[in-house]
Chains A and B, each alone.
Chain A
Amino acid sequence: MSNTKLSPGIVSARLSEEDYSNNFSDAYPGFSNYEAKVEADRCYFCYDAPCISACPTEINIPLFIRQISTEMEEEAAKTIFDQNILGGMCARVCPTETLCEEACVREAAEGKPVKIGRLQRYATDATMNSNIHPYSRDGSNGKKIAVIGSGPAGLACSHRLAMLGYDVEIFESKSKAGGLNEYGIATYKSVDNFASKEIDWLLKIGGIKINFNKTLGTDFSIDELRKSFDAVFIGCGLQDTNKISIHTGSEQFVEDAVDFIADLRQVNDFSSLPIGRNVVVIGGGMTAIDAAVQSQLLGAEKVTIIYRRNLDNMSASQKEQNNATSKGVKIIANAIPTAIEKENNIHKLKLSYTEVDNETGQLKELNQTFSIEADQIFCAIGQKFNNLLDVFQSKRGKIVIDNDGKTSVKNVWAGGDCVDKGEDLTVSAVAQGRDAAQAIHKSIISK
């Protein structure tokens, strides 16, 4: 340990090896058999259960929990995978507190919902750890589908299509599959290389080929794919991020939180990652939270999230906000950065307080200002599409799809973060990918 939390500037190795390993271990370890049975017993097996409709993939939650209670983890996992082939990752990253667990009647009754996410992880882990892939493919039907992107949407779509007999080719711009599952999720939510293991498991279905380092627009075009494939699914996510302009003088000072999170996921030795003593994260979503929490876990002394609106408007759930503050992150709401100054060799971020104008709903910058020390600043104010939208009908910078996931271009479907529909969640992407696969199948067999 060459440095400490108090070492100035942006340095690596602020913590001991033990601290790094504790900090980045599994945040919510899996249930033991006994814990799972006791928790499963809490489920009331509700009629027309509200948790099911609160799940974007509509997993039959009471059924899989009942299957766990009778020690049929494999059947429970199948109930999950039938609806959501990435049920393992969703069990780790879903904001269950705003989805199934928020709808759980025990949340209404006692503020303690059945821990659906952890039960789902228990069931899916059991099946995946024993290397069982509960689906098979009858063989090729001779039809070929191109899928752009190997993130949650692309994978869900590919698996379903492969199962139905299609030959699927995935075009992935990176050298590793997984999309945001591999690059965009906080490290402590997906330990032990889970994302990549999950993909290996998913590909057991067969009939799916992944072409790595193939970027849309550079290496191929939509039109080319349309010519050589029976249908195309776009699940490419959002490659670009929104930037913030702060008067920084000559230095390029603000970093992308998305890149920081991706680096954390790919690194083997946490002590090699430099982190500022004073870190500021700008934004109010999950990316901001993940960047802030992980900055703290890497050994930053002070981490502050700056959010321009009220706390209630943050898209990160209350649970995630609490998780951040419990790790020592400070959240300052109603403030925007205005400039960066250097005083006595220390960078200070100047901020103004804001207020929402009750009449217009517009955000107003107030005259009251303050400043905080900021060795490192991460920006997490949203991702956006790059310039490939022109061929599609688009809205709010994203591809417009119909109820079947079909775009305005013939034989092209889309889903996930790149479409203007649903929430930007892994589980929503899975649902869209899965449903697009069914729609593609329906369209092809009706020809």
Chain B
Amino acid sequence: MNLQSEFLGIKSPNPFWLASAPPTDKEYNVRRAFEAGWGGVVWKTLGLDPHIVNVNGPRYGAVWGPDRRLLGMNNIELITDRPLQINLDEIKIIKRDYPDRAVIVSLMVPCEEDCWKSILPKVDETEADGLELNFGCPHGMSERGMGSAVGQVPDYIEMVTRWVKSNTRMPVIVKLTPNITDIRYPARAAFKGGADAVSLINTVASIVSVNLDTFSPEPSIDGKGTHGGYCGPAVKPIALNLVSQIARDPEMQNKDISGIGGVTTWRDAAEFLALGAGNVQVCTAAMTYGFGIISELTSGLSNWMRKKEINSVSEIVGKAIPNVTDWQYLNLNHVTKAQIDQDLCIKCGRCYAVCEDTSHQAISKTINGERGFEVIDEECVACNMCINVCPVENCITMRDLETGEVDKRTGQKVSDEYANWTTHPNNPSSVKAAE
């Protein structure tokens, strides 16, 4: 399967780019990433000299599962801590050696036009494929008026993007912070300023843990901590939602989005694409497992596409967007009931505990006097919590009631007509047909 990807006219052999982060900090890493098969990189964010410094203690915090699986990670690392020219020279060498791969340069300089004017020509000389403006980092740089401090103010986004667009030949991607109330405002501002695409999400402002002996947030530097940026599998649901909100926005139809946030497997990538991302950027998964995961990402995506008879990556993009809607348009006449497969049931009773204690008292704990768990159709609202907690896959499933079948909970027959909240009699502002 050909996974050839084209994003803003930038070609890469697959839609998997490494996000701007430690894995793309220098030539050595990027070379190894490209040898492993990554489609592109967004170089670790460059800034003006004198280069910034990092803390000399731990930069990362973690949320682990009991088996030490890294579920979420946060970091307090800043942008590149190497001199600008070294990075620029290495970028140029890399692009020369890997012309078929995407090389994007991430930038973060103060909100002054002169700063941008001074750095952009230097970046142009590297012959990289594009720019990504880092308006996302929520820690450290934001205290200095950069990163998410810009991304949280749509006017700044628009202003800076406009400066950049008028001073570069390159396509410009604006990287957005999720630490806002409505992602559509910063996204619209980016496009208004002339951005060619947005990428999201950057990390989520976070404290991952507090040491209960020292009472210091972690990672702890000499007994003190600061909030960091959260990433990894834990943030994927947040990222998916924000990507979809931009993809669905009528004001941003057909705008390009680079999806970022907890992409760990090919499956995650496919979901981002389906919600409107043109490609994906990966960081935490590579930092957790190394560059070798690219083989699983590409082979998995290829295999799935073959099975689904999808011939190109671009066919996946936005495929799920028509099915993302507002709550008010969900079909209230669609009735389902949980059902428990007694052959698969191992009688742990977790469904009973959750339903009895926290939901709708719709599961009985005995069957003919013996320990056993069964759905009480008269009570079941099909909330799905029993499935969420059931340890056995496919043991509890949701059954769609047939048209005409009586819902034992309401005593009503199931209608095949679509009816949503906007027309529901309980809705004080329901839209009534004119009489």
Contact = CB atoms under 8 A, between A and B. Distances in A.
Does A associate with B in a complex? yes
A105 interface: yes
B354 to A, nearest CB: 9
B66 A38 contact: yes
Contacts of B352: 47
A45 interface: yes
B350 A44 contact: yes
Contacts of A44: 348, 350, 391
Interface of B is mostly: loop
Interface in B319-367: 346-350, 352-353, 356, 365
A48 interface: yes
Contacts of A105: 346-348
A400 interface: no
5 contacts: A38-B66, A46-B348, A47-B353, A48-B371, A106-B346
A399 interface: no
B210 interface: no
A216 B365 CA distance: 50
Contact of B392 (A34, A48, A109): A109
A41 B65 contact: yes
Given A37-B67, A105-B347, 19 more contacts: A34-B68, A38-B66, A40-B66, A41-B65, A45-B350, A46-B348, A46-B349, A46-B350, A47-B348, A47-B349, A47-B352, A47-B365, A48-B365, A48-B371, A49-B349, A50-B347, A50-B371, A105-B346, A108-B346
Contacts, number: 40
A46 B68 CA distance: 23
A419 B365 CA distance: 36
A78 B371 CA distance: 29
B369 to A, nearest CB: 14
A192 B66 CA distance: 31
A37 B365 contact: no
Contacts of B353: 47
A391 to B, nearest CB: 43
B66 A37 contact: yes
A122 to B, nearest CB: 14
A295 interface: no
Contacts of B391: 44, 109
Contacts of B392: 109
Interface residues of B, number: 16
A294 interface: no
A354 interface: no
Interface string A34-77: 10011011001111111000000000000000000100000000
B68 to A, nearest CB: 7
A109 B350 CA distance: 14
B350 A38 contact: no
Contacts of B349: 46-49
Interface in B391-424: 391-392
Nearest to A110: B346
A108 B347 contact: yes
Contacts of B347: 46, 50, 105, 108
A38 B365 CA distance: 29
A282 to B, nearest CB: 40
A377 to B, nearest CB: 45
Contacts of A34: 68
